[in-house]
C-alpha cells in the first residue's frame, strides 16, 4: 500500500502560482510564500491545483512547479501535487512525474468538459491508481468539471490501497454526511469549499484544501485544528472571523480575487494568465474590507 510520507489533513493551502505582470512564473515570490505558510502553521501545500492555475500552465511549467515545491518545502509539511486531467493518459503522465519529483501525494480532479459517466469516473481513477503507486486524493468539484462523482462511485474506489482521500467541493453538508457514512472508515474526507469546511470537519472530515488559507494561513490552521478536534465553540468563533473572507475571495472565479488579495498584501505581483483577468474594480473594496477586518492589510 502506498503510504504518504506525512499525515495529510488540517489546513492544506491550495497555493497560488505567483506570476510577473507578463505572466511568467515568479519563483522568488513562490519561495517566500512557501516559507511564510510553513511559519504560519499551514499543514500541507497543494501545488498546481485550480488555484495554482493548472489549466494555463504548460507541461514543463506544471512539472517545474511541483519540483520546486518539493524542493522548497524540504519535507517540512506534506506536498500534494495536482496531477488531474480530462485525458486518463495525461493524468497518469503527470502523476508519474509527481512521484519522481518526490511529492507525498497527488490530487486528481474529475475529468472536466468531456463529462464521463460514473463508470467512466471509476475506470479513470482506477487506471491512475494502478499505474502509479503514490497516495492519491480524488477531487470532486461539479461546478467546474460539469460532472458530479456520486458517493457510490467513491465507495467503489475507496478499497483501492493508494486512494487515501477525497476532496469534496460540492459545497453541500448533506453530501459530506453521505460520504462519511459511505466511505468514512475507508478514506479521509477533505473539504474543498471554505464556506462549509468547518461543518464538514465537525461531522467527521479530516481537513480543508483551502483557498482562504492563501491569505489567512494562521487563522485557517487554528480553525481547522479546532474543528477536526471536535471543538465546536472554538471552531465557530474562528470561522465567524474568516467567513467574510471566504465570501470575498469568490466574488469572481478563483483564483482572481485571492491573487489580487495577495498582491495587496505585498506577497506577490499582479500577474494572472488569460483567460483569467485581474479583479474587477468594483470588487476591490469588498475584498479590501475583508482583509482589513482581519488586519491583513492596513
Identified catalytic residue from 113, 115, 167, 206: 167
Report the candidate in 47, 76, 51, 77 with the shortest Cα–Cα distance to residue 64: 47
Within 8 A by CB and 6+ apart from 213, the residues are 11, 12, 13, 14, 37, 42, 220, 221
Is residue 196 annotated as involved in ligand binding? Answer: no
CA atoms in the 13 A half-sphere facing the CB of 26: 22
Whether 167 sits among the annotated catalytic residues: the reply is yes
Whether 115 sits among the annotated catalytic residues: the reply is no
Identified catalytic residue from 139, 170, 259, 263: 139
How do strand 136-140 and strand 105-109 relate by DSSP bridges?
Answer: parallel
Report the candidate in 109, 113, 122 with the shortest Cα–Cα distance to residue 46: 109
Is residue 189 annotated as involved in ligand binding? Answer: no
Instruction: Please state, in angstroms and rounded to a whole number, the distance separating the CA atoms of residues 126 and 93.
Output: 15
In our burial notation (b when 16+ CB lie closer than 10 A, e otherwise), range 71-96 reads ebbeeebbbbbbbbbbebeebbbbbb
Summarize the annotated binding site as residue ranges.
Answer: 51, 209
Q: Which residues are designated catalytic?
A: 139, 167
Summarize the annotated binding site for pyruvate as residue ranges.
Answer: 51, 209
Amino acid at each position: 500500500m502506498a503510504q504518504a510520507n506525512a499525515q495529510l489533513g488540517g489546513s492544506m493551502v491550495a497555493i497560488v502560482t505567483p506570476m510577473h505582470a507578463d505572466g511568467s512564473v515568479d519563483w522568488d515570490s513562490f519561495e517566500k510564500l512557501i516559507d511564510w505558510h510553513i511559519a504560519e502553521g499551514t499543514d500541507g501545500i497543494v501545488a498546481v491545483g485550480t488555484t495554482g492555475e493548472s489549466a494555463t500552465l504548460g507541461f514543463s511549467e506544471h512539472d517545474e512547479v511541483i519540483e520546486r515545491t518539493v524542493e522548497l518545502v524540504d519535507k517540512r509539511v506534506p506536498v500534494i501535487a495536482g496531477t488531474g486531467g480530462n485525458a486518463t493518459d495525461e493524468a497518469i503522465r503527470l502523476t508519474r512525474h509527481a512521484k519522481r519529483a518526490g511529492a507525498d501525494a497527488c490530487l486528481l480532479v474529475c475529468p472536466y468538459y468531456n463529462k464521463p459517466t460514473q463508470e467512466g469516473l471509476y475506470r479513470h481513477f482506477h487506471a491512475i491508481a494502478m499505474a502509479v503507486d503514490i497516495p492519491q486524493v480524488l477531487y470532486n468539484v461539479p461546478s467546474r468539471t460539469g460532472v458530479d462523482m456520486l458517493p457510490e462511485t467513491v465507495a467503489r474506489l475507496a478499497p483501492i490501497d493508494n486512494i487515501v482521500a477525497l476532496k469534496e467541493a460540492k459545497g453541500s453538508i448533506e453530501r459530506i454526511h453521505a460520504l462519511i457514512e459511505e466511505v468514512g472508515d475507508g478514506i479521509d474526507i477533505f473539504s474543498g469549499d471554505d464556506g462549509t469546511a468547518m461543518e464538514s470537519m465537525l461531522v467527521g472530515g479530516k481537513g480543508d484544501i483551502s483557498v482562504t488559507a492563501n491569505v489567512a494561513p494562521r487563522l485557517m490552521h487554528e480553525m481547522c485544528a479546532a474543528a477536526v478536534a471536535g471543538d465546536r465553540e472554538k471552531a465557530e468563533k474562528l470561522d465567524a472571523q474568516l467567513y467574510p473572507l471566504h465570501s470575498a475571495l469568490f466574488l469572481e472565479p478563483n483564483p482572481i480575487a485571492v491573487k489580487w488579495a495577495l498582491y495587496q498584501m505585498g506577497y506577490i505581483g499582479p500577474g494572472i494568465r488569460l483567460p483569467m483577468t485581474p479583479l474587477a474594480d468594483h470588487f476591490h473594496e469588498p475584498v479590501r474590507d475583508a482583509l482589513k477586518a482581519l488586519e491583513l492589510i492596513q
